[in-house]
Structure 1
Amino acid sequence: MMFSFLFLLFMPIPQVRTGSLLTGTYDPNSTALINERRDIKEIDVLRQIINQETLIRVAVVKDVRAVVDDVRSVKRSMASSETMVSTLQQTLESLKSQVDSLNRDNTLAQKVEVLQRQVYTLRQTKTLKKRVETLERQVNTLSQDNALQRKVETLQRKVDSLTEEQTREIKNWQEKNQEIEQKFNRNIAEVYELLNNRTLETIKKDLKLYVDCKHHCLQGQTQSGVYRISPFGNESQIDVYCDMVTEGGGWTAIQKRVSGSESFDRTLAEYKNGFGNANDSYWIGNDTIHQLTKGRNSSLYVSITIKNGTTFYELYQEFSINDEADNYSLFLGGPATGTLGDSMLKTGDSNKDLSGMSFTTPDRDNDRYSIGIGNCAARPRSRGGWWFNWCSYAFLNGPWYPAVWQKPWYPTVESGLTVKGTMMLIRRH
């Protein structure tokens, strides 16, 4: 490409004939004139070509100069690369010399061998230590076994050292034991002989202890009436009324009133031990109530029969009282259901709620009535023991007709004058 540009640059320019124009003759139709005109046009074209060639020459010169500069730059780079190659060759030769020197130096190899021997020695030492620890454990075990053996030997010597007198004493005890056993067998035979005429069922009945009325019910009793129970054990049997019909039966009456034969205007000591007759009217006793309900979940069933024959009731799911040291305080829990309405637990007046209250009697004021006003249990219309708060809306131990008994169960039963009978029944869950 560059050589083509040079050829055009030096190519000769054709000569233009101008004679006819300079002679002064002018014929527009003459062949000479036409040729001259054609030559002029060719001259113009050649001029344009020359101009373009000039421009091309300038460009080519620039390109050549650039190529020359590139060649010079490449030469400089090649010179620098040759220098670097020379430096690298020198460095490589130096490294080779160092390697040769290291190969000739055996000190490093000797150090490596020494370290290897030390590692081997350490490994052997560690193994030896483990063996020593194992031997120590075995020695300790043998020592313990040896101590135990010595103890066994000591005990054996003690056994061997028993005298003939001690041996005779042991023999005497064995003979006495045989005599006691023979006497016991004779007594058993006598008992069987005495009981020969009694049936097995009679014996079981005599020996059976019934804790409460539910116990009787579980043994098949279905008739309501007076039964004997032993809440404290066989030595303290008491008679109580058992309801075997209500809510499936098994209810023990802790309070029963069917007449005015028993006054409930009693001292704390009388309420503690109980009073009355289970066939008519009675209070079972605060100690007995505590014994029947402690450690057990029990329910309370209250019933009031009025003189027209209607009976109202209220059932509380939780009931118990504490012991005398805690003034026989009452615990009562719901839900409460029935036809009497809840007049003990949630009355709508916190001064009338009875759960948590201590037992109060005319001679023992444990209620919360205002100081200086008096004792709820000693008021004329409410004389009798009860778990009073600031008195109450429920009170089943009031004075019997013809005396005035106020609020047996307010508001369902407002006056004791209408009451025919009451009962408080408990049953363990």
Structure 2
Amino acid sequence: MMFSILFLLFMPIPQVRTGSLLTGTYDPNSTALINEIRDIKEIDVLRQIINQETLIRVAVVKDVQAVVDDLSSVKRSMASSETMVSTLQQTLESLKSQVDSLNRDNTLAQKVETLQRQVYTLRQDKTLEKRVETLERQVNTLSQDKALQRKVEILQRKVDSLTEEQIREKENWHEKIQEIEQKFNRNITEVYELLNNRTLETIIKDFKLYVDCKHYYLQGQTQSGVYRISPFGNESQIEVYCDMVTEGGGWTAIQKRVSGSESFDRTWAEYKNGFGFPDDSYWIGNDAIHQLTKGRNSSLYVSITLKNGTTFYELYQQFSINDEADNYSLFLGGPATGTLVDSMLHTGNSDYNLSGMSFSTPDRDNDRYSGNCAALSTIRGGWWFNNCHAAFLNIQWSPAVWSWPWWPTVRSGTDVKETMMLVRRH
């Protein structure tokens, strides 16, 4: 646009013919006069254009001067920018030189990596902070207790003093023990003579320990019920059911079942220690049976009462079991008398004779059967099995399962109301 304006400024102005008008000689209708008038109008227009162009020229000159000033300012800014660029280049070269120096220093890089790993490890170990806090609390506590060290010193002196006294006391006690041993050795013979001159019943009465139900019976207890006895010969007592009526009384029940409330599908350990409640259904425990029968002549009385009130029984004159080391093996001897008929000792089938058999449970097989009689689904209980049995009172109570409680007298558990196994020393 600026170049277009300059072109108009310098464009030549056409020459106008003014002679006819100035001289006053003209013909209004002549062609020459008409042309001159037209030329005059064009001159006026041109003058107006010239005036406008003059104004434009002035404005353009101002604009050009402003552009020139702007160019000067840009040149100065460019000179300043070149100086800054030069300075930045020098700084960049210096930094590059420092980086190259650091890269060449491998030891520094390794130290940085080591420190980074240590920082990472410390951040990961969350327990370290807790330990430090705990130690700080302990240190603060110890710092606050200024008398702690004095207390420790006093206690240490007391400990040292006690140690010396204990040494002297040990020497004195050693002499006292030797003196007691000498007195014991002198009097042991007298003690044995004193015990031999007293009956077992008298000793038990003095200490109020009753080994079995017969001891209660001998002391005048004739009421059947639950009593506490000490079959292990010390103050450790167990509760048992005592039958003070049957065959003269004094019988200790080792097994009693009056309902199906107590399961007899038990482990070896449970049969060893006993389970259940003597006033209802229970097994006294194989350890207790061994203690009640070892070294004594004892009898076994078995009874089965039916729901119609009929009671069958069988009495074996000799009964005992060995300890756990021998798997509580059974010894059973005759004569066998009663209404049940013998189905344990002499059954007529050697596979069903139980004397000499070890005790078995579902978790411990000691029978002569190829499998485990105690674990069979139709048995599930502890007993002295052979191959397997003709008499078994610890089976599941369910009538649908309980077959052969005592063959052939009681062939099904459907009619059974109660069972008991009683022992009594002669």
Structure 2-normalised TM-score? 0.52
Shift of 1:290: 0.2
Amino acid at match of 1:208: K
How far apart are residue 205 of structure 1 and its match? 8.0
The alpha carbon displacement at 1:399 in A equals: 0.2
Say whether residues 1:274 and 2:271 are aligned partners: no
Paired position in structure 2 for 1:148: none
Query: Does 1:380 find its partner at 2:367?
Result: no
1:338 equivalent in alignment to 2:338:
yes
Q: Which amino acid aligns with 1:230?
A: S
Match of 2:296 in 1: 296
Structure 1 runs not aligned, ≥5 long:
1-168, 178-203
In structure 1, distance between residues paired with 2:223 and 2:235: 26
Partner of 2:386: 389
Q: Which amino acid aligns with 1:276?
A: G
Q: Deviation string for 1:156-181 (max 9, x for gaps)? A: xxxxxxxxxxxxx9xx99xx99xxxx
SS at match of 1:232: coil
Whole-angstrom distance in 2 between the partners of 1:292 and 1:386: 18
1:227–1:242 Cα contact (<8 Å) kept: yes
What is the alpha-carbon distance in structure 2 between the residues aligned to residue 389 and residue 395 of structure 1? 11
What does residue 78 of structure 1 align with? none
3-state SS of 1:363 partner: coil
Contact 1:336–1:342, Cα closer than 8 Å, also in 2: yes
- Three-state SS of the structure 1 residue aligned to 2:220 is coil
Larger Rg: 1
Give the corresponding residue for 1:149: none
In structure 2, what is the equivalent of residue 210 of structure 1? Answer: 210
State the alpha-carbon separation in 2 of the partners of residues 263 and 346 from structure 1. 29
Q: Where does structure 2 lack aligned partners over 5 or more consecutive residues?
A: 1-171, 181-203
**Hey, what's the Cα distance between the residues in 2 that align with 1:236 and 1:394?**
33
For residues 240-259 of structure 1, the C-alpha deviation after alignment (integer angstroms, 9 at most, x for no partner) is 00000011000000000001
Work out whether 1:418 is the aligned partner of 2:415: yes
Identical aligned pairs, as a percentage? 82
Give the Cα separation in 1 of the matches to 2:378 and 2:303: 21
Describe the SS at the equivalent of 2:384: coil
State whether structure 2 residue 362 is matched by structure 1 residue 362. Answer: yes
Partners of 1:228 and 1:234 in 2: CA distance: 12
Where 1:269 maps in the other structure, the secondary structure is helix
Aligned pairs for 1:207-286 within 5 A: 207-286=207-286
Native 8 Å contact 1:340 1:409 kept in 2: yes
Paired with 1:385 and 1:408, the residues of 2 have a C-alpha distance of: 14
Q: Matches of 1:403 and 1:292 in 2, distance apart? A: 35
- 2:308 corresponds in structure 1 to 308
Partner Cα separation in structure 2 for residue 241 and residue 334 of structure 1: 25
* 3-state DSSP of counterpart to 1:233: coil
CA–CA distance in structure 2, aligned partners of residues 402 and 357 of structure 1: 27
- One-letter amino acid of the counterpart of residue 325, structure 1: A
Residues 294 and 330 of structure 1: CA distance in aligned 2, closer, same or farther (over 3 Å) = same
Q: How far apart are the structure 2 equivalents of 1:268 and 1:254?
A: 16
**CA drift at 1:381:** 1.6
Deviations 1:228-248 (A, max 9, x none): 101113431011000000110
TM-score normalised by length of structure 1:
0.51
Query: Cα distance, 1:206 vs. partner?
Result: 9.3
Please give the secondary structure, in 2, of the residue aligned with 1:361.
coil
Which residue of structure 2 aligns with residue 38 of structure 1? none
The answer for the alignment partner of 2:129 in structure 1 is none
Q: Match of 2:235, SS?
A: helix
Q: Secondary structure at the match of 1:247?
A: helix
Q: Post-superposition shift, 1:207?
A: 4.2
Q: Which residue of 2 aligns with 1:404?
A: 401
- Identify the range of structure 1 (375-384 vs 399-408) with the bigger mean alpha-carbon deviation: 399-408
User: Is the 1:303–1:311 contact (alpha carbons within 8 Å) kept by the matching residues of 2?
Assistant: yes
1:190 counterpart residue number: none
Task: Report if aligned partners of 2:399, 2:413 keep a CA contact under 8 Å in 1.
Answer: no
2:350 match: secondary structure: coil
Check whether the contact 1:230–1:236 (CA below 8 A) recurs between aligned residues: yes
Contact 1:404 1:417 survives alignment (8 Å): no
**Quick one: which amino acid aligns to residue 396 of structure 2?**
P
Aligned equivalents of 1:256 and 1:236: distance in 2?
22
- Separation of aligned partners in 1, 2:206 and 2:417: 37
Cα offsets for 1:104-146 (capped at 9, x unmatched): xxxxxxxxxxxxxxxxxxxxxxxxxxxxxxxxxxxxxxxxxxx
Shift of residue 407 of structure 1?
0.7
Q: How far, CA to CA, are the matches of 1:381 and 1:206 in structure 2?
A: 49
Displacement of 1:403 in angstroms is 4.7
For the aligned residue pairs, the C-alpha RMSD in angstroms reads 2.1
SS in structure 1 at match of 2:291: helix
